[in-house]
Amino acid sequence: MMNIRPLYDRIVVKRIEDQETMRNGIFIPDSAKEKPQEGEVLAVGRGKMLDDGKMVALDVKVGDRILFGKYAGSDTKRDGMEYIVMREDDVLGVLSAQ
């Protein structure tokens, strides 16, 4: 059970790991793989505070699958699980289910 509550325009994301361990018959060790840039939103903050004091709701919501930049956010480990805490601005897009 995750107990992180992000503030303002921050979101908590869990990376969606690639299930592929063999590529063309060659085993790729974890140390040589790039970290995936896709994740699932687990928690969202209340919104972004504008200069005039108004709070604007975030576009992403809990459960969304998102794409984010390679160096986006801050990695954190909690109860043996790894999470990324990032600003909504770091999200490149929301993946739609088809």
Q: What is the pLDDT of residues 37-62, one digit of tens each?
A: 889 999 999 998 889 989 999 999 99
Residues 6-28: tens digit of each pLDDT: 888 999 999 887 655 555 666 66
Is residue 76 within 8 A of residue 83, CB to CB? The reply is: yes
Domain ranges for the chain, please list them: 10-18+33-91
Residue 39, token pair as written in the block: 């994740």
pLDDT tens figures, 54-97: 999 999 999 999 999 888 888 988 888 889 999 998 999 998 75
Q: How many whole angstroms separate alpha carbon 84 and alpha carbon 17?
A: 13
For domain 10-18+33-91, which CATH number applies: 2.30.33.40, 3.40.50.300, 3.30.2320.30, 3.30.1540.20? 2.30.33.40
Distance of CA 56 to the CA centre of its chain: 20
